Amino acid sequence: MQPTIIKGQATANSNTAVIISKAEDLSQLSLNSNELAYIQGKLDADKKLITLNQLSNFLFIVLSDKDGNDELESLRKKGNSIFKTLKGEDLNTVSLLDLKGCTQSTLALAEGIALSAYSFNYKTEGKEKEFALTEITVQSEVITEDQITELNHIVDSVYITRDLVNTPVDRLNATDIADFMVAQGQKDGFTTEVLNKTKIEALKFGGLLGVNKGSIDPPTFTIMEWKPENAKNTKPYVLVGKGVVFDTGGINLKTPPGSLDTMKCDMGGAASVIGTMAAIAKNKLPIHIIGLVPATDNRPGENAIVPGDILTMHNGLTVEVLNTDAEGRLIMADAISYANKYEPELVIDLATLTGSAVMAIGEYGTVGMGTASDATFAQLEADGYATHERVVRFPFWSDYDELIKSDIADIKNLGSREGGSITAGKFLAKFTNYPWIHLDIAGPSFHLKESSYRGKGGSGVGVRLLYQFFKGLSK
């Protein structure tokens, strides 16, 4: 369960994190001379987070003497440190006292604490099962109730995304993820339509059906829609998320074996699209937006596709399969082609698409590319810095088109080793007819080791970024 963030008073003897912008702000607190001397010593030593055990409670002094994106990220990370102290001491509540008078700073600290409080496991006993941070009280002259509610909804949505990514395929197959979207839509007020295998066949989704051939579970294709009456856009925005609920590689089975261990994360794009739809609907953003999720596992079952097979895709293009582990682009292509029917204003797809993206920039950012305007990319990049879900734009030159030409079909599903995330993007581009951004989240979607407030395992990357981006578009 996520902690509830509420607006209220930081009472005496409660665990409190005080945000100050200068040492003089400390005079507003009733500290004794010993405590003041201790804090001053730490401030002189350039410490920006000072922890004081006041026996009845903990006091955290957070010095935030700057503004800007780096400072916000540093505050989220301080939130992670504070959470760890609270957890270590089995303390379930904390108050934040804003003496800096800065909405963004205090919200960033609250966000860092709340996102750190996430946990996921199937343990039946022990602290990982028992401990929960239940409440974060925010005392601030400048923060509104609405801003607190919005943050609760965002954190909730990130948790939804993380839960989905962390759930293994034995508990989340293509049907399960579709059912999840239906249930989430009922909670948050967006509509859903699930296309079953028969419908998927009727629509000639050759990529999704091809990848599904090695599986005993049927594929699903889910359409989520949020269309409030006050929507600012006339043509919808569309999100598309890769929903490979497990990627074995198929007949081109992944090697070495360790490379399979995290492949439950291969529906990270779908999870982020679901989380983003939830965040937008919970916060009732006045935009019309549609989320598409093609889902299947990729397995080397008896009738699995093999190299050399030719698939005919939703838009009629033929694809030569040269590696069954390049399955993401096959299922995404059908969904991206289907998106044309909405005549969208903009389409953003999210996919754990290539190891190449990870090789290029690691887990620290998302690889982006596409055909949207420079201004749209610039806005997304700016939102990336603001949320620290950074996007780096890769080249999308026509030269790369050469690399996915096939001798016997329109295109092949394998590019060169070099620039592999770009050739994967180029493959998807063949199915678009609208302004489009492709986000390859293979790096940041899943952390093998704990990454501050992003945690270990599913990070929920994409939700905070896209919420911020679409909030901007809804103004």
| 349 near Zn ion (CB under 5 A) | no
Residue from 192, 244, 219, 237 nearest 351 by CA? 244
Binding range to ligand BES, per CB under 6 A, among 197-205, 326-334, 375-383, 451-459: 326-334
350 binds ligand BES (CB under 6 A): no
For the four alpha carbons of 349, 354, 359 and 364, in that order, the dihedral sign comes to positive
C-alpha closest to that of 276 among 299, 259, 293 = 293
CA distance 20 to 103: 13
Q: How far is the CB of 141 from Zn ion (least distance, A)?
A: 49
Helices then strands, counting H and E runs in the chain, come out as 14, 20
In 10 A of CB 259, how many CB atoms? 14
Per rule CB under 5 A, count of chain residues that contact Zn ion: 6
* Binder of residue 442, out of Zn ion, ligand BES, none (CB less than 5 to 8 A by kind): ligand BES
For Zn ion, the binding residues in 378-407 under the rule CB under 5 A are: none
Which residue's Cβ has the minimum distance to ligand BES?
355
188 binds Zn ion (CB under 5 A): no
In 131-192, alpha helices (H): 145-166, 174-188
* Window of 88-96, 279-287, 350-358, 385-393 that interacts with ligand BES by CB under 6 A: 350-358
Site for ligand BES in 142-171 (CB under 6 A): none
**Which of Zn ion, ligand BES, none does 297 bind, CB closer than 5 to 8 A by kind?**
none
Q: Residues 240-259: x/- map of binding to Zn ion (CB under 5 A)?
A: ----x--x------------
Residue 300, binding choice from ligand BES, Zn ion, none, Cβ under 5 to 8 Å by partner class: none
Cis peptide before 256 (omega within 30 of 0): yes
Q: Report the alpha-carbon distance of residue 334 to residue 210 in Å, rounded.
A: 11
Question: Which residues inside 312-341 make contact with Zn ion, applying CB under 5 A?
Answer: 325, 327-328
Signed CA dihedral, 171, 174, 178, 181: sign only: positive
State the nearest-atom distance from the C-beta of 445 to ligand BES, in Å.
7
Q: How far apart are alpha carbons 210 and 176 in whole angstroms?
A: 20
CA 212 from chain centre, in angstroms, equals 25
Give residues in contact with Zn ion (CB under 5 A): 244, 247, 266, 325, 327-328
Q: Which residues contribute to the site for ligand BES (CB under 6 A)?
A: 247, 266, 323, 325-328, 352-356, 358, 414, 420, 442
